[in-house]
Amino acid sequence: MMKKTLIFILCLLIVLWFCGPVLLILIAALTPSAEYYDLARLVPTKLTLTHLESLFVRLNGWKATLISIQTALLSIVISFAIGLPAAYVLTRYVFKGKNLFRLTILLTRSFPVIIIGVPLVTLYLRIGIADSVLGVSLAHSSMILPFIIIISSSILGGISVEYEEAGMVFGLTRFRSFLRITLPLALPGFAAAAIYAFVLSWNEVFISAIINLTNRTLPAHILNTAMTSPDYFKFAAGTVMALPAMIFIFFTRKYLMSMWGISLK
Amino acid sequence: MSEVTVKEVKKYFNQVKALDGVDMKIQDGEFVVLLGPSGCGKTTLLRCISGLETVTSGEIRFDQKNVTHLPPKDRNLAMVFQSYAVWPHMKVKENIKYPMRIKKFSKEEIDKRAKETAELLNITELMDRYPAQLSGGQRQRVAVARAIVLEPAALLMDEPLSNLDALLRVTMRSELKKLQQRIQTTTVYVTHDQVEAMTMGDRIAVMRDGKILQFGKAEEIYQRPKNVFIAGFIGSPQMNFLEMTVKREEGRAELVSKGLSILCEEDKVKGLEKANLDKVILGIRPENILLSPENGCVPIKGSVYFTERLGGETIVHVSTESKRFVVKVSGDALFNENETLRIYLNVKKTRLFDPETEEAIG
């Protein structure tokens, strides 16, 4: 009994540690400006949506949100188009240097964005995709791709080759067998991977801020506008940024866990 | 239904040799078992026949048609996988119907065949379930149904019973065999279980190191194994092997070892003369050693080392001067440890091997 209570208290502390700040941000985002600077008051007497509203409407946040969504979706399409075949080859074939390849995939992440940022802008200006959704999406894809390859290959690895081979023996080509048999089985996992990719792109601020000046994604836009605004705007912006990610992670946490080999039992 | 011909098939995985020139001809409607220890190439051979693996060299024919370079889908085959590979996202009936749908059968034909096959395998009431809701044995039936519903040129099975529990395995063994006799489809069956091989196969191909060592009927392989490996691999408990010295003089031959002397029969004398050896390995199966004298048996003195009482039969390990023999007697027999006794080797049912090459000589 004693032990149970202790564990409960410990869990509560951990939850508070992680959720406390999120809750404070949320409250601050909804606090009327008059009450926000009243130091005597921690919990506001009423909640308001004005900050969120002005962030979206007055500060053109809705446009940035739209661009963010476009960018994220396009990044997902690009990364899956390249990443799925790569993941398939990694799981289904044996070839020389396979392990080295698997290892070096993640190396692309070790280049600091700040180093490739400026050359990227120069390149984009030359080929004419600077300040566009496509440009940022390509940059985001390069960041997402390694994760998509690694995650997808572990999802595919969890699906027995024999299902696909059965498809081939019973009349399908390898490609159609993948589409008809393996893909439906892998779909929940891929969906979770896509959502993870969405969150990565949604949260990325640096590349988007450098590459796009007018067509900024939401975080870049916030960096530009809200950061020079009063604090409650910052918190409103923080809430907008954090919420989708948290909702997605909440719904897909089971798959995310299984992708990294942790089971929820 | 087809005749399957495998001609000088070799398969290398990079530098590793998996199949080292395999030749075999499987008759139309025959049930052939590929038997061997793990890593002997039996599954690779099956996968080469299926087309899931390409051959490095050689040729595979179904009847007169060369299929060596055809993809699996164009070979008109069906396969039962070790894990069954019943597609988990499809209901049982979809699993069975899907291959027919791929091959563009008419709707009536699909329904008719699915119904008949389901009845044949006793899975009619499972048709609306998902594979996850089935037991291992039921899943196995679905896998078999899916395979035979197409009436394929050949049916390939890769250790289909190895994931079932012992009791179910015995039942399915006879059921599969009966089913094959009924539908008369050429079948290639891979297993490492010699009992499965002996009971199911019309013919058995014993493999090792990517080669077929012997290809013949079960009794032939059991009675007349071509070499020491096959003799030891088939039969449980294992055949007793004993190295003996050969004494030859004018049309007679005697095999000698400590406490044992065997005068060879005529046919063995010929083999020994041809081989011209000083030493041979004598092989004798545990059931061919008796505890009471009979005509043509050679006695040897020994003492009981250990007894395994299995109820229906008893395995007695008997230490003698030259070797510890394993003896199988039917019925339950009680022996005391170190009890002295005489055992009698049935000389007619022995097999002689060359100790160098390990090949049979008579």
CB B30 within 8 A of CB B174: no
> How many Å apart are CA A208 and CA A137, to the nearest integer?
9
Residue with tokens 């220890």: B37
Does residue B237 have a cis peptide bond before it, meaning omega lies within 30 degrees of 0?
A: yes
> How many Å apart are CA A52 and CA A69, to the nearest integer?
18
Q: Is residue A56 part of a domain?
A: no
Report the alpha-carbon angle A227-A230-A231, nearest 5: 80
> Residue A259: is its pLDDT beyond 60?
no
Output helix, strand, coil percentages for chain A, rounded to the nearest 5.
80, 0, 20
Domains B4-233 and B240-353 share a fold: no
> How many Å apart are CA A116 and CA B182, to the nearest integer?
70
Handedness of CA A146, A152, A153, A158 (dihedral sign): positive
Which residue among A94, A173, A181 places its CB closest to the CB of B73?
Answer: A173
Q: Is residue A206 part of a domain?
A: yes
> How many Å apart are CA B349 and CA B295, to the nearest integer?
12
> How many Å apart are CA A226 and CA A218, to the nearest integer?
11
Q: Do B71 and A166 touch (CB under 8 A)?
A: no
Task: Please report the pLDDT score of residue A263 as a whole number.
Answer: 45
Q: Using a CB-CB distance cutoff of 8 angstroms, which residues of chain B are in contact with residue A169?
A: 50-52, 72-73, 77-79, 156
> How many Å apart are CA A138 and CA A74, to the nearest integer?
8
Which residue among B85, B103, B150 places its CB closest to the CB of A165?
Answer: B85
Interface check for A169 against chain B (CB to CB < 8 A): the answer is yes
Q: Who contacts A247 (Cβ-Cβ below 8 Å, separation ≥6)?
A: none
Note the CATH number of domain B4-233.
Answer: 3.40.50.300
* DSSP secondary structure letter of residue A189: H
Pairing outcome for strands B186-191 and B154-158? parallel
Task: Please report the pLDDT score of residue A63 as a whole number.
Answer: 86
Residue window 22-81, chain A: list those with CB within 8 Å of chain B.
none
Strand order in the sheet with B16-26: B16-26, B4-13, B57-62, B65-66
CATH superfamily to which B240-353 belongs: Nucleic acid-binding proteins (2.40.50.140)
SS3 A203: helix
> How many Å apart are CA A88 and CA A186, to the nearest integer?
12
Biggest alpha carbon–alpha carbon distance for chain A: 74
Whole-number mean pLDDT of chain A?
85
Report the alpha-carbon angle B71-B74-B79, nearest 5: 85
> How many Å apart are CA B339 and CA B149, to the nearest integer?
60
Domain residue spans of chain B? 4-233, 240-353
CB B245 within 8 A of CB B255: yes
Residue with tokens 């039921």: B138
Per-residue tens of pLDDT for chain B, all 362 residues: 689 999 999 999 988 999 999 999 999 999 999 999 999 999 999 999 999 999 999 999 999 899 999 999 999 999 999 999 999 999 999 999 999 999 999 999 999 999 999 999 999 999 999 999 999 999 999 999 999 999 999 999 999 998 888 898 999 999 999 999 999 999 999 999 999 999 999 999 999 999 999 999 999 999 999 999 999 999 989 999 999 999 888 778 889 888 888 888 888 888 888 888 889 999 999 999 999 988 889 999 999 999 999 989 999 999 998 889 999 999 888 888 889 999 999 998 999 999 999 999 87
Report which of B49, B57, B94, B53 is spatially closest to residue B75, judged by C-alpha positions: B49
> How many Å apart are CA B242 and CA B325, to the nearest integer?
9
CA distances in angstroms from B276 to B167, B204, B247, B252, B361, listed in the order given: 49, 31, 11, 13, 10
Pairing outcome for strands B154-158 and B77-80? parallel
> How many Å apart are CA B84 and CA A162, to the nearest integer?
8
CA nearest A166 in B: which residue? B85
For the packed helices B92-102 and B107-120, what is the interaxial angle rounded to 10 degrees? 130
Q: What is the CATH number of the domain that holds A251?
A: 1.10.3720.10
CA nearest B158 in A: which residue? A162
Interface mutation target, options B43, B81, B94, B103, chain A, most CBs of A under 10 Å: B81
Interface mutation target, options B95, B98, B149, B190, chain A, most CBs of A under 10 Å: B98
For the entire predicted model, the pTM comes to 0.82
The pair of structure tokens assigned to A181 is 């048999």
What b/e string do you get for B185-211 counting C-beta neighbours within 10 Å, with b at 16 or more?
bbbbbbbbbbebbbebbbbbbbbbebb
Which residue among A162, A172, A174 places its CB closest to the CB of B81?
Answer: A162
For the packed helices A231-259 and A133-157, what is the interaxial angle rounded to 10 degrees? 30
Distance from CA of B68 to the nearest CA of A (A): 15
Alpha-helix runs per DSSP H in chain B: 42-50, 92-102, 107-120, 136-148, 166-183, 194-200, 218-223, 228-233, 266-275
pLDDT, tens digit (0-9, with 9 covering 90-100), for A87-120: 999 999 888 888 898 888 888 777 777 788 888 8
CB B174 within 8 A of CB B186: no
Containing B314, the helix (H) or strand (E) segment is strand B313-320
Report which of B79, B91, B85 is spatially closest to residue B48, judged by C-alpha positions: B79
CB B342 within 8 A of CB B289: no
Report which of B20, B26, B11 is spatially closest to residue B212, judged by C-alpha positions: B20
SS3 B340: strand
- Select the more confidently predicted residue: A148 or A264: A148
> Which whole number is the average pLDDT over A141-168?
91
- Select the more confidently predicted residue: B48 or A38: B48
CA nearest B151 in A: which residue? A170
CA nearest A164 in B: which residue? B85
CB B322 within 8 A of CB B286: no
> How many Å apart are CA B228 and CA B275, to the nearest integer?
16
Which residue among A163, A169, A171 places its CB closest to the CB of B52?
Answer: A169
Task: Please report the pLDDT score of residue A33 as a whole number.
Answer: 77
Task: Please report the pLDDT score of residue A264 as a whole number.
Answer: 43
Q: How many CB pairs under 8 A join A and B?
A: 54
* DSSP secondary structure letter of residue B265: P
Biggest alpha carbon–alpha carbon distance for chain B: 78
CA distances in angstroms from A6 to A3, A11, A17, A200, A265, listed in the order given: 5, 9, 16, 36, 22
Task: Please report the pLDDT score of residue A79 as a whole number.
Answer: 96
Q: Is residue A217 part of a domain?
A: yes
Q: Do B103 and A173 touch (CB under 8 A)?
A: no
Q: Is residue A250 part of a domain?
A: yes
Distance from CA of A159 to the nearest CA of B (A): 10
> Which whole number is the average pLDDT over A217-235?
81
pLDDT, tens digit (0-9, with 9 covering 90-100), for A164-209: 999 999 999 999 999 999 999 998 888 888 888 998 898 888 888 8
Q: Is residue A84 part of a domain?
A: yes
CB A221 within 8 A of CB A62: no
Q: In chain A, how many domains are there?
A: 1
> Which whole number is the average pLDDT over A141-162?
90
CA nearest B72 in A: which residue? A169
